[in-house]
Structure 1
């Protein structure tokens, strides 16, 4: 599964507005933001980068004023992490990833499960972007660009879903990338703090996963941020499969 996840990561980054490929790495950049989560690189499966390859990758970030940063499944390219660490890269995080297949998916059975909807208007996308910004404590500020990215995800073959409150506001949602290499990534599952514990995340996760299977994906994968969220995903049929490594080059270490 690691090689499939890493192959997906490569294909997904190649969808970015600006792509640079050098020395066995693919870097995907989003020009309307310098946020590190939207500007990073990943290696090709099996890559064995040289010191010169790593230096070229660092240069691609530096010339754009961005933090050199990578996300990847280390078992799919075992030579990469040692080469990056030799250049001064440090670990940001190690995340376990979970995978769901059509055979393991569990849909909510409760009659009062939240009603999940598909955004259709500019107002829907903007309200969902704002709800997710609040859900993640300001890691992302709500913006027109964020709403546009959600719309592009849906238009390009992915899926976006949300839940409203009784007054019509949006209280939570998430998105799933278009499928590649037989799999798709579900990300950004968030619920506004005042509405947590009501099954919103579980309902959105199941609806998005089911939608991607209907579109032909053989599996859907995600990373989780804590044991509480892990339990939500496991109840929807997600199971642990491997880890992803996040590395970045601290400014003091940049040449």
Structure 2
């Protein structure tokens, strides 16, 4: 990896800290902060405090895990290794298994035209569309099926499994998604055909001029058709057009990272994602 300016990592830290704060309360435990979502929605994580006077300790992790169990939350922790390098050993000594995920940023001039990556249409979700709620539910179902079979290899799960995974969203969830999409804090994309329906998905979270692409997934039966790359490139172009200066993402493995490298991302570091050792395979 090339030398990465410290200022870039600081921008990422500000982003990671800001994303949960409009939907969660922050509880501090020594060198860590736990974000507790207010209301329904995907639960957040604990991560290093930006203003901490000391690095997180095993005791801090234990305290956070006890609080997460008390609240019925996943015992989840996230951080950037280059920013908090000592936490990797501390987390493992506290009984956590740590996924070291490649952390990549976009080189805008290297991002290809999505139309050249696949012959399958890719579109952005529009909160004004009459079927917006259905498309959001479909995006979540595609992600659930795709992430249930990690990696890039083809598999059997396809439209039938997607349709079985679609859940009707409550009004609050739809309104939150629509609000975040309308004001540019979130961008979502689907790829698919009229005959097959949605086959791949992705989304991005944006704070000011920094955005993270996440949730890129393809139904196993549709892999190998360039869909993940096309969805990622579509989101990247949309973010840049909206004035986003820094676009980044984390890959679940080196194999998956190679897909993102093909659409203009370069590795700058490692994002650590930790859970109790018995949870991760």
Q: TM-score, normalised by structure 2?
A: 0.74
Pairs within 5 Å for 1:66-215:
66-81=73-88, 84-85=91-92, 88-108=94-114, 110=116, 113-120=119-126, 121-137=132-148, 142-144=166-168, 148=174, 151=178, 153-156=180-183, 157-167=185-195, 169-180=197-208, 182-215=209-242
Secondary structure at the counterpart of residue 206 of structure 2: coil
Counterpart-to-counterpart distance in 1, 2:63 and 2:274: 16
Aligned partners of 1:97 and 1:242 also within 8 Å? yes
Moved more, 19-28 or 194-203: 19-28
Query: 45, 49, 66: which one pairs with 1:44?
Result: 49
Deviation, structure 1 residue 51 = 6.5
Counterpart-to-counterpart distance in 2, 1:112 and 1:52: 49
Tell me how many residue pairs correspond in the alignment: 246
Counterpart-to-counterpart distance in 1, 2:118 and 2:64: 51
1:240 paired to 2:247 = no
Aligned partners of 1:118 and 1:162 also within 8 Å? yes
Secondary structure at the counterpart of residue 252 of structure 2: coil
Q: TM-score, normalised by structure 1?
A: 0.80
Root mean square deviation, CA, Å: 3.1
Secondary structure at the counterpart of residue 103 of structure 1: helix
- Could you say if the C-alpha distance between residues 56 and 134 of structure 1 is closer, same or farther in structure 2, counting changes exceeding 3 Å? closer
Deviation, structure 1 residue 99 = 0.7
